[in-house]
Structure 1
Amino acid sequence: MNFGSLVIARLYALGENVNSFEAKQGWKQGYLRAVVRNDDKKSIPNIERAKEIAEALGLEFYIGPPRETGPVYTVELDGADYAPIPRVDARLAAGGGAINDQVERTGALAFRRDWLRERDISPSDACLLKVTGDSMAPTLHDGDLVMIDERRTAIRNRHVYALIDTDGAARVKRLDHVPDQLIILTSDNPAHPVETRASEDMNRVNILGEIVWSAHAW
């Protein structure tokens, strides 16, 4: 929907028309009509004008990075804003897979909001889990903590993902996707074989999200 269509829809919702709203706002005749015209005389408003019109109509005018889709919690430390990322007690097996019958939140770690924004990570769509096993070494070691971005479920080849495999086990693997054919699961540890999921098995793989951060436990 373009800007003019949004204006028309909002005017209808408010029980207004172009002429009455222009008069109510003290705008000169044609100030708003030029934006909603449907001919070659239609005017494309600049940012300042679009903002003025949107605010007059009670619409939010926003330009910027993607904003949170869930509750936003902020902690301020030393003048910087931090967001808590929940830690859950589920395990991601770097080998054969881990079964997590019940998953509960066991606390949180705080990350600077500007750091998260730079990496396009939404705090409300991220969580922390522990890795078990050595199949992803040296990238991930047994006991490492990883952050999953749950919005990133579309496979980007050679990136590392948390997933629920066909047997219901939670795993962490480097993935490659051949559209409509198969998913390739690769371990960074060469001692572990490459695996594939094809046909119906490919459709049963549930991608939990991409691994976007890790912390190594010494």
Structure 2
Amino acid sequence: MADARMRLLELSERQGVSLAALSQMIGRNPSYLQQYIRKGSPRKLDEADRAQLAGFFGVAESELGAVEEISHALSANRHRRDWVAVPRLALGASAGPGALAGEEEPFDSFGFSDRWLREHGLDQANLSLISVVGDSMEPLLRDGDEILVDHGWRPLRDGVHVVRLGDALHVKRVQQGQAGEIRLISVNEAYPPIDAALADIEVIGRVVWKGGRL
């Protein structure tokens, strides 16, 4: 994009029109194009802005960055087959007081490497991402983290799972207790364990990955 910025600066100087005037022409604040050229913010021009500027100067849009963006898109498309989309569900699994389940409909997706999933024995069809709500699993899981849940059937074993208890979803460490019982354990010791009959618990899936902002 550096070449596109320099070309825009060259065209403005050649035509004797200021960057502030050009910014206002495309409906932006007067410092918009100055920041674009000098500071690289925004990283690229919006398509409509680029088209208007190219038309004003009588040059091809490619001179202002269009070719680079198209090339990047083509490159991304070549590698798209190596990635799979895992649905993000509008659900919150409580890491605190029980959270009521939301709509189990995807609102977005997150790309995972197909090879990474296969290396970890994960099947795309059995995966979804949901958000963590609350602080009972800190520092392992924090409020707002997203967790990858494997819904594929496996024998229940100790580990971090998403479970449904009544109408509420929880993300907890699952520990099997006496016959017919299960214990849900928080990492944050401020929260006591929850003991429940296995018959009252629906295991939604095992947590196999987490992601979140620093």
TM range (shorter): 0.5 to 0.7
CA distance in 1, matches of 2:77, 2:108: 18
Q: Structure 1 residues 104 and 80 mapped into 2: Cα distance closer, same or farther (>3 Å)?
A: closer
Q: State the 1:170 CA deviation.
A: 0.6
Secondary structure of 1:117 counterpart: helix
CA distance in 1, matches of 2:136, 2:178: 25
User: Percent of counterpart pairs with the same letter?
Assistant: 29
Contact 2:132 2:141 in 1 (8 A): yes
Contact 1:76 1:82 in 2 (8 A): no
Amino acid at match of 2:211: A
CA distance in 2, matches of 1:125, 1:119: 13
Q: State the 1:77 CA deviation.
A: 5.3
Aligned to 2:202: 206
1:217 matched to 2:180: no
Aligned to 2:61: none
CA distance in 2, matches of 1:175, 1:89: 23
Per-residue displacement from partner, 1:93-113 (whole Å, max 9, x unpaired)?
A: 111211124222111011011
Q: TM-score, normalised by structure 2?
A: 0.61
Secondary structure of 1:189 counterpart: coil
Unaligned residue ranges in structure 2 (runs of 5+)? 1-75
Q: TM-score, normalised by structure 1?
A: 0.60
Provide the aligned length of Structure 1 versus Structure 2.
139
Q: Structure 1 residues 93 and 79 mapped into 2: Cα distance closer, same or farther (>3 Å)?
A: closer
Per-residue displacement from partner, 1:68-98 (whole Å, max 9, x unpaired)?
A: xxxxxxx965486111100011110111211
**Matching of residues 86-105 of structure 1 within 5 Å:** 86-105=87-106
Contact 1:173 1:187 in 2 (8 A): yes
Q: Structure 1 residues 134 and 153 mapped into 2: Cα distance closer, same or farther (>3 Å)?
A: farther
Q: State the 1:153 CA deviation.
A: 5.0
Aligned to 1:161: 161
Aligned to 2:133: 132
Q: 1 or 2, which has the higher helix percentage?
A: 2
Q: State the 1:139 CA deviation.
A: 0.5
Amino acid at match of 1:144: D
Unaligned residue ranges in structure 1 (runs of 5+)? 1-74
Aligned to 1:117: 118
Q: State the 1:156 CA deviation.
A: 1.1
Secondary structure of 1:124 counterpart: helix
